[in-house]
Amino acid sequence: IFKTALSYNTLTVLPTGLGKTAVAMMVAARRMLSYPSSKVLVLAPTKPLVEQHASSFRSSFTLHEDFFAVFTGNVSPEKRHKRWEDSRLIFSTPQALENDVLSGRISLSDVSLLVIDEAHRATGDYSYVFLADQYMKTASHSRILALTASPGTDKETITSVCDNLFIQRIEYRK
């Protein structure tokens, strides 16, 4: 899974507790080494999930606390802008970030990895769809790693998620 995710925008489908976050951390570390001035952005749909990812990364990366930022609706747009400039690993709800991208406060151009947790939500007008599109249009060194335990119940839904997230490969394990 790691090898595929290094070379392709990848949808990783694994049951809960089988290592989706570990794969994301390994790919993030490699992308940060390959693109030293880049950022890694991890999106999750809820504040508790955002905080869980931030905690996992903090415990696994030996980086100064200033390199980490957590964005939710509780953080003002001005503070998000400042923290964005100073951070390398950003964890955010998609709605908070979508507003910042729309307003021009944040650019995704220097993000080398976009991790999308609960990727099955990337349908319709959900913020993941807009952010993936903006990311692919602006990032200098783009790579998307989408994570889910269940990509959808039918081929049409799964295809839509993959199209919306620019997925090139699917890695599925039971």
Q: How confident is the prediction along the chain (174 residues), in pLDDT tens digits per residue?
A: 999 999 999 999 999 888 999 999 999 999 999 999 999 999 999 999 999 999 999 999 988 888 999 998 788 888 888 899 999 999 999 998 999 999 999 999 999 999 999 999 999 999 999 999 999 999 999 999 999 999 888 899 999 999 999 999 999 998
Beta carbons of 34 and 152 less than 8 angstroms apart: no
Element spanning 22, H or E: helix 20-34
What's the pLDDT tens digit per position in 73-104?
788 888 888 899 999 999 999 998 999 999 99
Q: Other CB atoms closer than 10 Å to residue 119's CB: what's the count?
A: 29
Q: Which helix (H) or strand (E) holds 13?
A: strand 10-13
Q: For residue 61, count other CB atoms closer than 10 A to its CB.
A: 17
Question: What tokens were used for 160?
Answer: 């839509």
Question: H or E segment at 148?
Answer: strand 144-148
